[in-house]
Structure 1
Amino acid sequence: MTDAVSGGDPYLIISSDCHAGLPTEEYRPYLESRFHRDFDDFLAGQGRRREEMTRLGVRNEAFADKWFHDNEEGLRGGWDTAQRLKELDGDGVAAEVVFPDADAVDSRTAAPFGVGLGLSGDQDPELGMAGARAHNRWLADFVSARPERHCGVALLPITGEVSEAVAEVHRAKESGLGALMIPAMWVDKEPYHDRRYDPVWAAAAECGMPVLTHSGAAPREDYGDHLGIYVSEVTWWPARPLWFLLWSGVFERHPALRFGVAESGCWWLPNLLWFMDRLYLGAHGGKKLSPFQELKRPPHEYLDRQIFVCATNTKRRELAQRYEIGVDNILWGSDFPHPEGTWPDTRAWLRRTFHDIPVAETRRMLGLAAAEVFGFDTAKLAPLARRIGPSPADLGQPADQAAVEASWARSRETGRHWLTGEDFPTLGVTR
C-alpha cells in the first residue's frame, strides 16, 4: 500500500492499542448459563482483588479518585459506542485495534474469570475459555456498529484444549473480529515452541488474524510488595513468546502468520534483533553452537515479513531507533482509555513526539502500517481522517521536508549496522 496523500493533508491515524470492556457484572448475558454460579463467585471476589492491588501499590487511591472524577464522561467510552466515537474523534483517531479491559485503574471492566489483560496459562481451562467467549461475543456486537473503525481482538486461551482454541479462532473471525490475543505466560503448560500449538498458528494464518500478546500478566506472587520488580518485568513477559516462536521455526512453517507485541514499547527490540541476527549469522560468540535448523533466513527477515510492535505511547528514544527496528514495524497506539496512554491529550502528545520526524515515516507509524497489518480499509477511513485528523503542521512538522529528511539521513543510511559486510564478510553466502 502506498501513501497517495499530499504532504500537508491530515493524518489517517489508527491506534494499534485501545481497550474496551463491559462493567464486569454486565457480561452475564454473554456467558453460558452453566457458568453463572462460577461467575457469581468471581464477582464476589472482585473487592478483595481491588484491596490487594491497593496494598501492593498497583492501585493508587488518590490517583484513582481524581482520574474517575476528571474523566467520568469520557471513560464511558470504554463500553458506550457513541461516547467512544466522540473521544476518538477528539483525539484525531480514525480507527483502532480494541483489546480488553477498559478500566486499568479499578479493574471494574474485567472480562469474566480474569481472562482480559491478565490472560495467562494458570487459569482454569474451562472457565478461561468460557470467559473469553463471553468477551468475544460482546466485542463482536460492540465493533459491529462501525466495523470500518474498529478491529476487535478476540481473547484466545490457547494453553487449554487446542481444538477449542482453533474453533474459537474461526468463530471469532465469522463474528467480525479481526485479531487474536494469546496468553503472554504459559506458566506450567507447554511453551509456545511445542508443536501442539501448530493448529492454532495455522488457523490464525488461514483466517488472516494477527496473533498478539499484551502486557499485563506477570508472576506477581514472586515480587512480594516490591512494585519496582513488577514494573521492570511487566513488558518482558509479553515479548518472551516472540523468541519462542522465532527460534522454533513457527514463522518459517507458517509464513502467513503475523505476530505482534502490544503495550510493551519497542525500546528492547534493536538490541534483541542485533543479538539474534549475530547468532544466526555466525558471530564469534555463537560459533560453538549447532546450526539453527528451524530457520531458513536471519531473524530480521522474519521481523520485516511477519512481526510488528504495537508501541503504545511511542517514545522519542524509540523513534530514534526506528531504522534498526524498521519504520513499518512500529505501530503507534493511544491506549485509550487507560491513564498511562495519550488520551485525552493525544494531539499535544503527537506534537511533542513527532515534530521532527519525516512526514512520510510519520504516516506509516501513525496509521498506514497498522492498516496493512489489521486490514483496515483506508479508502473508507479517508473522509473521516480529513475531517478529524491532525495535519503535519498541527504536529509542528514543516511544509518543506528537505531539512528534516537531511537531519535523519545518516541514521537512515546506518540502519541495521550489524548487517554490514565489515561485520559479516560472508553475509551474502546462503547458510
Structure 2
Amino acid sequence: MTDPTDPYLIISAACHAGLPAEQYRPYLEAAHHRAFDEHLGQRDARRAGAGRRGARNGTSAMKWYEDNEEGLRGGWDAVQRVKELDGDGVAGEVVFPDADTADAGTAPPFGAGLAPAAGHDPEAVMAGARAYNRWLAEFCATDPERHRGVAVLPAAADPDAVVDEIHRAAESGLGALLIPASWGDGAPYHDRRYDPVWAAAAETALPVLTRADAAPRPEHGGHLGIQLSEAAWWPARPLWFLMWSGAFERHPGLRFGVVGAGCWWLPDLLWHMDRLYAGAHGGRKLSPFAALKRSPHEYLDRQVFVCATAPSRRELARRYEIGVDNILWGSGFPHPEGTWPHTREWLRRAFHDIPVGETRRLLGESAAEAFGFDKGKLSPVARRIGPTPDDLGQPRNQAPVEASWRRARETGRHWLTGFDFPFVGMGE
C-alpha cells in the first residue's frame, strides 16, 4: 500500500539520446561506410544552407548549448545522463533518438531517426536503424532498470527484414518500436502487408510508437507556423489508419502510442470517431465499419496511449475525456521544449491541484505498465530522488482536491455520460 506522502515514482515517457552522428560508423556494417561518409557531407551542407536561409534560430540554439553544455552531454554520456535524471527526480525514462533536434547533430545514419528519411535508399535506412539500435542497446544496458530504449523501425521496408529487426530489438533489451509517422512511397498502414509487423510487436510486447517531425517540410515554405500547426497531425494520423482498418481488432496485444504531439487533439478526435461509429454524419449509410467490433474509445482504452512532453494545464484538465491511464508524462530531456533542467519546478506548477492518486498514474505508473519497467526495482531510486506530494504543493488533506474535480470526473467522456459539453476546470 502506497503511503500518500511517499515520493513519486517518475518515469519520463519521452526522452532522447543519440551519438554525435559521425560516431555511428563502428555500429554500421562495412558495406555502408562509404555511403555514410557521403551522407555526413550532405548533412553538413544542408545544415549550412538551413542556417543561411534562417530555417532555425541559431542564436537561440547556441544559447541553449552554452547554458546547458554539461548536461547536454547526457544525450550520449551514460554517467552524465544519470546525474541529469537524478536532478530532475526522474527514476526511469523511455529513450527516443535524436538528442539534438536543433541541428541534427545526433541523428542516426541515413535519416533513420525522427526526421523523415526521404531520398535515402531503403536498404541504407534499415542499416542506419540497425546501427542506432545497436548503440542504443549498449547505452541502455549501462543501467537497464532505468532506461527503456526505443528501437528505430523503418516499417515500410521488406516485412521479413522488419520482423527480424523487431525480434533483434527485443532480444537486445530494447523496450519499444518507433515507426515513421509517414510511410512515404510505401503502403499506408491500413494495408494488410503490415500484419506480420503488428503481430511481431504484439508477440514481443513492444509498443509501436509514432512521433512528431514527420511533416513534409518542403511544403511549408519555411513558415514555422505551418509546421507547428501540423505537428500533431502527422504522428496522430496512423492512429485512425490502424483503428478503422481493424488492426487493433486483429491484434489485441498490439499497443500503440503517439509521442511528442501533446494530447490536446485526442478528446475531440475520440468524440468524433465514436460518433462516426455510432452512425453520425453519414457513417450509417456509408459503411457498417465491419472491421471493428467495438467503439473506438474501447480500443483506445485497451491499446492506445499518448506520451505527452510537458502537457499543458488545459490538457491535464481534460484527462477524464482522454482517460487518466492513457496519458504518459514526459520531460523531453534534453530538448529545449521540455521541462529539463527545471522539472521539479514545472511539476509543482502543473500538478499542485491534481489528486495524488491520479498524479502517480500520470507521472509514472502507467508508463511502467506500458513499457515494462520493474517498479519494485525502481522504487529505491524513487525513494532517493523522487519529489513528494509535499514538494509538488499537494495538500495532505486530499478531500477538497477530489471534490474540486468531481464534476469533471463525473462528466468524463460527455458523449457517453449524457452531458452535452465537456467541463474544463483549469486554464493554460
Could you say which TM-score interval applies, normalised by the shorter chain? over 0.9
SS of 1:45 mapped into structure 2: helix
Asked if 1:97 corresponds to 2:94, the answer is: yes
Contact 1:119 1:182 in 2 (8 A): no
- Out of 247, 250, 255, the residue aligned to residue 252 of structure 2 is 255
Asked if 1:68 corresponds to 2:65, the answer is: yes
**Match of residue 294 from structure 2:** 297
- Aligned pairs for 1:145-184 within 5 A: 145-184=142-181
Contact 2:21 2:109 in 1 (8 A): yes
**Match of residue 210 from structure 2:** 213
The structural deviation recorded for 1:422 is 8.0
- Out of 219, 231, 234, the residue aligned to residue 237 of structure 1 is 234
Contact 1:120 1:184 in 2 (8 A): no
Q: What letter matches 2:382 in structure 1?
A: A
The structural deviation recorded for 1:7 is 1.0
Q: Determine the C-alpha separation between the residues in 1 that align with 2:62 and 2:285.
A: 57
Which segments of 5 or more consecutive residues in structure 2 lack a partner in the other structure?
Answer: 421-428
Change (3 A) 1:121 1:261: farther
State the superposition RMSD in angstroms. 1.3
**Match of residue 372 from structure 1:** 369
Q: What is the percent sequence identity of the aligned residues? A: 70
Contact 1:122 1:186 in 2 (8 A): no
Contact 1:121 1:183 in 2 (8 A): no
The structural deviation recorded for 1:282 is 2.3
The structural deviation recorded for 1:232 is 0.8
Q: Determine the C-alpha separation between the residues in 2 that align with 1:56 and 1:95.
A: 39
- Aligned pairs for 1:45-84 within 5 A: 45-55=42-52, 57-84=54-81
Asked if 1:27 corresponds to 2:6, the answer is: no
SS of 1:151 mapped into structure 2: strand
Asked if 1:227 corresponds to 2:256, the answer is: no
Contact 1:104 1:339 in 2 (8 A): no
Contact 1:17 1:97 in 2 (8 A): yes
Deviation track 1:343-376 (CA, whole Å, cap 9, x = no partner) reads: 0000011111111100000000000000000000
Which segments of 5 or more consecutive residues in structure 1 lack a partner in the other structure?
Answer: 424-431
Contact 2:411 2:417 in 1 (8 A): no
Q: Determine the C-alpha separation between the residues in 2 that align with 1:157 and 1:15.
A: 24
Q: Determine the C-alpha separation between the residues in 2 that align with 1:200 and 1:76.
A: 34
The structural deviation recorded for 1:46 is 2.1
Asked if 1:200 corresponds to 2:194, the answer is: no
Give structure 1 regions of 4+ aligned residues with deviation exceeding 3 angstroms.
55-58, 119-123, 420-423
* Stretch moving more, 221-230 or 201-210: 221-230
- Out of 241, 246, 256, the residue aligned to residue 243 of structure 2 is 246
Q: Determine the C-alpha separation between the residues in 1 that align with 2:49 and 2:383.
A: 46
**Match of residue 109 from structure 2:** 112
SS of 2:196 mapped into structure 1: helix
**Match of residue 131 from structure 2:** 134
The structural deviation recorded for 1:58 is 4.2
User: How many residues get paired?
Assistant: 420
Change (3 A) 1:302 1:52: farther
The structural deviation recorded for 1:221 is 1.0
Q: Determine the C-alpha separation between the residues in 1 that align with 2:296 and 2:107.
A: 36
The structural deviation recorded for 1:119 is 4.0
**Match of residue 284 from structure 2:** 287
Change (3 A) 1:392 1:56: farther
Contact 2:137 2:172 in 1 (8 A): yes
**Match of residue 344 from structure 2:** 347
Q: What letter matches 2:307 in structure 1?
A: C
The structural deviation recorded for 1:216 is 1.2
The structural deviation recorded for 1:59 is 1.9
| TM value normalised by structure 2 | 0.96
**Match of residue 334 from structure 1:** 331
Contact 1:121 1:185 in 2 (8 A): no
Deviation track 1:9-38 (CA, whole Å, cap 9, x = no partner) reads: 110000000000000000000000000000
The structural deviation recorded for 1:319 is 0.5
The structural deviation recorded for 1:170 is 0.3
